[in-house]
A and B are shown apart, each in its own frame.
Chain A
Amino acid sequence: GAVVSQHPSWVICKSGTSVKIECRSLDFQATTMFWYRQFPKQSLMLMATSNEGSKATYEQGVEKDKFLINHASLTLSTLTVTSAHPEDSSFYICSASSPRYNEQFFGPGTRLTVL
């Protein structure tokens, strides 16, 4: 089956620093990757959609300069939280898809804690 990994699984950082989260499709080429944010006991909120080699499409209300998304290859997308603040603390989940499949495959998520 299709496997998606995320790294790191948990990160703690100081307020004002930047944090990069990686999302990799391990056994397939992902033409599209999605980034979600999930608060405790809530649903997944789509932040942005990224297609390989092009700029990400952000959902309304998501700050592009705050959450930088890069999808430089068919197996890797990164989310960089710039100048992180405590309110950015959350669980971030990526998913990946390709025309070969009729579903998205989800990574295990990254817990970000900003002190």
Chain B
Amino acid sequence: AQTVTQSQPEMSVQEAETVTLSCTYDTSESDYYLFWYKQPPSRQMILVIRQEAYKQQNATENRFSVNFQKAAKSFSLKISDSQLGDAAMYFCAYTKSGGSNYKLTFGKGTLLTVNP
């Protein structure tokens, strides 16, 4: 079975600084998708960034980027120039490839605090 592990229950960062959230996963599949979701206090799940396993290039979305190490099964999220609005719970998630009709496996989450 696939598992997703987030080893940092809580992280904090100073506004305008950079922070990296860790995620490791376990799967026997060769093709899959990895995601980082943000859940602010409103509890609405927001997709931050997505990585297809077959792509070697790391995904980036403005201030958000990932370090995808397929062999190590590692998928970390880097947030640059942190803003107060980045404060939220962040979940790493995995799904096997073949379409979005496959279920997501979530990590336990990392609570990010941004200090002014």
Question: A residues within 8 Å of B by Cβ?
Answer: 31-32, 34, 38, 41-44, 46, 49, 51, 91, 93, 95, 97-99, 101-104, 106, 108-109
Contacts and interface: CB of A to CB of B under 8 A. Distances in A.
A32 to B, nearest CB: 4
B100 A44 contact: no
B100 A109 contact: no
Contact of A102 (B43, B99, B106, B111): B99
Contacts of B33: 102
Interface of B: 33, 35, 42-45, 47, 50, 91, 99-101, 103-104, 106-109, 111
B87 to A, nearest CB: 15
Nearest to B105: A46
Contact of B108 (A43, A97, A106): A43
A104 B100 contact: yes
A95 B45 CA distance: 10
Contact of A98 (B50, B100, B106): B100
